């Protein structure tokens, strides 16, 4: 209603007419929903300050709120602009002040100045009304609309809102902005629901991958097709899930972008987009798709309002390493892959053991552990994004040259990636992470060598333990292994 009143007053001003008595009692709703501004009895022309629209009726004493006239002071206390109160010539901004007083009452349910006429007039002379947010804190009045109200109620003419239309536009912008914000919030809520569907699809995919691995391990290649029904169904479902998951992600992105179009300041929409593109980044990283990684990382940075997702792009992890004996110096070398060649890109000293949660970026590293009187120990680690590497509760043992012997390189046990082609046949896993430990070494057992996940030792001496996803699978366990140097693999 107030917006329509602003339109009415703006029209009157365009005809050089001031109302001079805008207040709730003079605003009514018509029979067909139209908003009417009544009582133009003391309205005046800007061109002729002494001429009213209805001569002989300058004061409407029958009004519910009687007009007050002190000399040339005409208006209603609580809605009368300061310049009207002192008898100064009013202009269009005087009506703007009255419109601001109506807005004030709509926001706080109280008038700008309460009390009898004289007290209200004295309060008006002393300064602007109390901030509406302080007058009615329990109503949680928005800062945007409160500032608009305050600007319309400025005591001085210069800083006051310039016109009724300017006041209309300011209020309308807030209302439209809130409407857009509400629409954007609903769209984001819908997008979150779709994103949860995607997450369920990814959980189903992980479960099916584990099931596929189990079936592949238990069904020989020569098994008749009809006995592979379960495996075939799992593979068909995995292919269908890829399509469904891609469609779901596109739907989430479309909804979240629509929310930003509705309200460019909608932080939940931007945060959801950053989250979605970060998930895409992780998937591209896992697949080794560098262009897709860079594209997704760029989108993460674009939508990351508070920088939290950008921090995750760095994927800082940590390293905890303990040795026996302690006090060993740890030199860290980082390697990046250049096509098929590993290239050293950084070298630094991490300190002396024990190292506890030392920050370290994701990547492939070779640690060299040096302790006086003992052979330097090479300790390779691969740190995935955001992971913590811990050497375990048992400190890594360090050995002397005599203990290790000539022609051998000691590699302490730890997680590693095994897989690849051995003799033209793919082995247990292409990128499996395995924990290997050597139970003991008494110097008499057969030399053990490892390549691609195949272990040259008898089943009684070692076994392998590997995990697919969250499901335990077949594997082999050792507490460390020795690599033959400059010798061919047996067999």
What's the longest Cα–Cα distance across the chain? 125
Task: Report d(CA 153, CA 101) in Å as an integer.
Answer: 7
Cis peptide before 40 (omega within 30 of 0): no
Tell me whether strands 388-390 and 317-321 are parallel, antiparallel or unpaired: parallel
Burial string for 34-65 (b: 16+ CB within 10 Å, else e) reads eeebebbbbbbeeeeeeebeeeeeeebeebeb
| 84-142 tens-digit pLDDT | 878 788 889 999 999 999 999 999 999 888 766 666 666 677 778 889 999 999 998 98
Cis peptide before 139 (omega within 30 of 0): no
Task: Report d(CA 163, CA 94) in Å as an integer.
Answer: 9
**By the 8 A CB rule, do 42 and 52 touch?**
yes
pLDDT of 236 reads 94
User: Which residues neighbour 190 within 8 Å (Cβ) at sequence distance 6 or greater?
Assistant: 255
Beta bridge partners of 365: 334, 381
Task: Report d(CA 343, CA 369) in Å as an integer.
Answer: 20
DSSP-H helix ranges across 15-52: none
pLDDT of 115 reads 63
pLDDT of 33 reads 84
Task: Report d(CA 433, CA 429) in Å as an integer.
Answer: 9
Tell me whether strands 329-338 and 341-352 are parallel, antiparallel or unpaired: antiparallel
**By the 8 A CB rule, do 281 and 296 touch?**
yes
pLDDT of 98 reads 93
Residue 347 Ramachandran class (φ > 0 left, ψ -120 to 50 alpha, else beta): beta
Task: Report d(CA 146, CA 158) in Å as an integer.
Answer: 19
User: Cα 129 to the chain's mean position, in Å?
Assistant: 40
Question: Which domains are delineated in the chain?
Answer: 2-162 (1.10.510.10), 193-314 (no CATH), 315-407 (2.60.40), 413-491 (no CATH)
Task: Report d(CA 366, CA 414) in Å as an integer.
Answer: 13
- Is residue 462 exposed (0-12), middle (13-18) or buried (19+ Cβ within 10 Å)? buried
The H-or-E segment that residue 336 falls in is strand 329-338
Of 131, 132, 171, residue with least CA distance to 163:
171
pLDDT of 415 reads 58
**By the 8 A CB rule, do 20 and 44 touch?**
yes
What DSSP state is assigned to residue 16? T
| 44-55 tens-digit pLDDT | 888 665 555 554
Rounded to a whole number of angstroms, the distance between the first and last alpha carbons of the chain is 92
Q: What is the DSSP secondary-structure string of 385-416?
A: TT-EEE--SSPEE---HHHH-TTEEEEE--EE
Q: Where are the beta strands (DSSP E) in 152-288?
A: none
Task: Report d(CA 309, CA 301) in Å as an integer.
Answer: 8
Residues of the chain with pLDDT under 70: 47-73, 115-123, 337-342, 414-491
Of 408, 391, 403, residue with least CA distance to 447:
408
Task: Report d(CA 308, CA 320) in Å as an integer.
Answer: 24
DSSP-H helix ranges across 39-163: 82-85, 92-108, 117-126, 132-135, 143-152
């Amino acid at each position: 209603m107030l917006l329509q009143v602003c339109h009415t007053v703006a029209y009157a001003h365009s005809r050089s007419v001031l109302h001079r008595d805008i207040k709730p009692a003079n605003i009514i709703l018509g029979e067909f929903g139209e908003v009417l501004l009544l009582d133009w009895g003391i309205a005046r022309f800007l061109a002729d300050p002494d001429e009213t629209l209805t001569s002989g009726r300058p004061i409407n004493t029958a009004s519910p709120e009687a007009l007050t006239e002190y000399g040339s002071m005409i208006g209603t206390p609580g809605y009368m602009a300061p310049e009207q109160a002192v008898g100064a010539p009013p202009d269009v901004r005087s009506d703007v002040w009255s419109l601001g007083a109506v807005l004030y009452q709509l926001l706080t349910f109280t008038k700008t100045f309460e009390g009898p006429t004289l007290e209200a007039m004295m309060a008006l002379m002393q300064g602007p009304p109390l901030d509406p947010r302080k007058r009615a804190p329990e109503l949680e009045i928005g800062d945007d609309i409160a500032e608009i109200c305050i600007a319309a109620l400025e005591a001085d003419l210069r800083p006051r809102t310039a016109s009724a239309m300017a006041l209309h536009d300011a209020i309308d912008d807030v209302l439209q902005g809130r409407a857009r914000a509400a629409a954007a919030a609903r769209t984001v809520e819908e997008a979150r629901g779709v994103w949860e569907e995607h997450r369920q699809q990814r959980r189903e995919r992980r479960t099916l991958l584990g099931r596929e691995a189990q079936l592949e391990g238990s069904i020989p290649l020569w098994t008749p097709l009809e006995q592979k029904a379960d495996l075939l169904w799992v593979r068909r479902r995995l292919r269908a899930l890829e399509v469904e998951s891609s469609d779901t992600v596109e739907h989430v992105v479309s909804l979240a972008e629509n929310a930003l179009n509705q309200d460019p300041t909608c932080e939940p929409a931007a945060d959801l987009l950053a989250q979605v593109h970060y998930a895409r980044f992780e998937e591209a990283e896992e697949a080794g798709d560098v262009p897709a990684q860079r594209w997704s990382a760029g989108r993460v940075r674009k939508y990351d309002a508070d920088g939290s997702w950008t921090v995750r792009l760095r994927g800082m992890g940590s390293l905890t390493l303990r040795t026996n004996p302690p006090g060993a110096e740890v030199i860290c070398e980082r390697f990046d892959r250049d096509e098929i060649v590993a290239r050293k890109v950084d070298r630094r000293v991490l300190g002396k053991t024990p190292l506890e949660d030392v920050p370290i970026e994701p990547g492939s590293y070779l640690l060299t552990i040096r302790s006086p009187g003992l052979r330097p120990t090479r300790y390779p680690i691969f740190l995935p994004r955001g992971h913590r590497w811990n050497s375990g509760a048992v400190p890594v043992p360090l050995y002397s040259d005599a203990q290790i012997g000539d022609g051998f390189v000691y590699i302490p046990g730890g997680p590693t990636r095994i897989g690849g082609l051995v003799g033209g046949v793919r082995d247990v896993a292409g990128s499996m992470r395995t924990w290997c430990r050597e139970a003991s070494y008494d110097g008499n057992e057969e030399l053990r060598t490892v390549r691609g996940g195949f272990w040259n030792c008898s089943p009684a001496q070692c076994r392998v333990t590997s995990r697919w996803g969250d499901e335990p699978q077949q594997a082999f366990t050792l507490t460390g292994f020795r690599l033959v140097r400059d010798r061919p693999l047996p067999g």
